[in-house]
Amino acid sequence: MAHRQLSLPQQRLLLLLVFPMLLSAHYYQKHPRRYDSNEYDEDESVQKVEEDPPFSNLQEEDAYLTVPQLVWKYGYEIEIHEVQTEDGYLLDLYRIAGRRAASGQPPLRPHRNAPIFLMHSLLSSCADWVLMGPGRALGYLLADAGFDVWMGNARGTRYSRKHLHHDPDARAGEFWNFSWHEIGLYDVRALIDHVLNATGAARLHYGGFSQGTMVLFVLLSERPEYSAKLIDMQAISPSVYMYRLEGRIVRTFVTLADPLVAALDAAGRREILPNRRFIAPLVKIVCADGNVTVCRELLYDVAGRNPAQVDDRMLRIFLGHFPAGASLRQLHHFSQIIRTARFAKYSPLRSTGRGGFHASPPAPLYNLTRATVPVVVYYGLNDHVINYRDALQLADEVPNLAAVHQIADRHFTHSDFILAKNSARLLNSILLQELDQYDRRAPRTSGNV
């Protein structure tokens, strides 16, 4: 079916409707399989959630610092590696190679049997793993536990906006001709290989949040031999099935995605919400304590409402790092799997030659049965992006499900996985226990370099 291209006023209206979403969206191998309870008790008095302290150790300046600057500031070793993909993209890969005395704790070098590689969510970067600071953020907790921590950055983000031949600012836009399919097939593959080559390890642990999980399933579907390079997969709010999402802003975007994408593509706008220097100062004004409600409400609609776990200073720091950039095709691909309820490859829009467009036939499905790595799934009952039923559907379909963890706070949202006051206690402590079991069974890395 052919569609007419929207007029300029219609295009502007669509952008106005969708912009808030783009600004705010982004979050024991056992036999038999183990599931935590997934009952959603509507009686709030039944659950008593332990109070967690605010982020008193963080500073507003953290919104302006890069990830390497943040890691060094808080007393940890940081290495910057540049990794080239098969199709010419140049990606920043950051390594937390231990803890310095400046952290306020004794220096510590990695001593675990295998390294861990972490991959971030949509429109974000590896800042996902460090923004909450030492003692809370997963990247630091892993380093404190003796892990060799590697954090990837997907193509098109602020830290991986580079290519051997294509200019990301060029009008032609060849740089931006990718979706999360290419991130999985090329980026994740190159980053995993680099970590293994740099450390001498035969296999590694994999941790992903949201998009960071789906890109590994893409890789394992297309290149199933990579399961042999992985010890386990820690799948935090995995965005494979998303058709039950609840956010009104995201739903609006999904409904309008095809005409919006056609309009932006025709205008040469193929980069979506890059990280700009003016964002952090603007957020400091817009989300100041006196009127932070606006920023909170946007977050609640997209990710879910859990006011007790939102720290306003932490929110401002986060919005200094998010959005970090993505491609137009990347978001369009997300809209397709949400609308169709199919974990499938990208279906590009086709021009009718008369200023309109039509959708392509349905694309092939990814084959989840090829992902034979042990998978541990973590989900929240109040996640507006990855509904808990979507997470459990994935858990039912992977061939080697090791465990499923429902976060104990029944109000836990998508953004809470990386921003909540209680995430270290309710998520990261459990994840560390899971990793500890797998690492004790893993062969010792030949050497950390």
Q: Which of 24, 124, 160, 210 is catalytic?
A: 210
Q: Which of 414, 415, 423, 439 is catalytic?
A: 414
Structure tokens at 203: 């296999």
Q: Which of 301, 311, 383, 409 is catalytic?
A: 383
* 87 assigned to active site: no
Handedness of CA 239, 241, 245, 251 (dihedral sign): positive
CA–CA separation, 415 and 122 (whole Å): 12
What distances in angstroms separate CA 190 from CA 89, 211, 298, 363, 428, one per listed residue?
10, 17, 35, 25, 27
* 383 assigned to active site: yes
- Decide: 117 and 192 in contact? Cβ < 8 Å: yes
- Decide: 344 and 364 in contact? Cβ < 8 Å: yes
* 24 assigned to active site: no
- Decide: 142 and 149 in contact? Cβ < 8 Å: yes
Q: Which residues are part of the catalytic machinery? A: 210, 383, 414
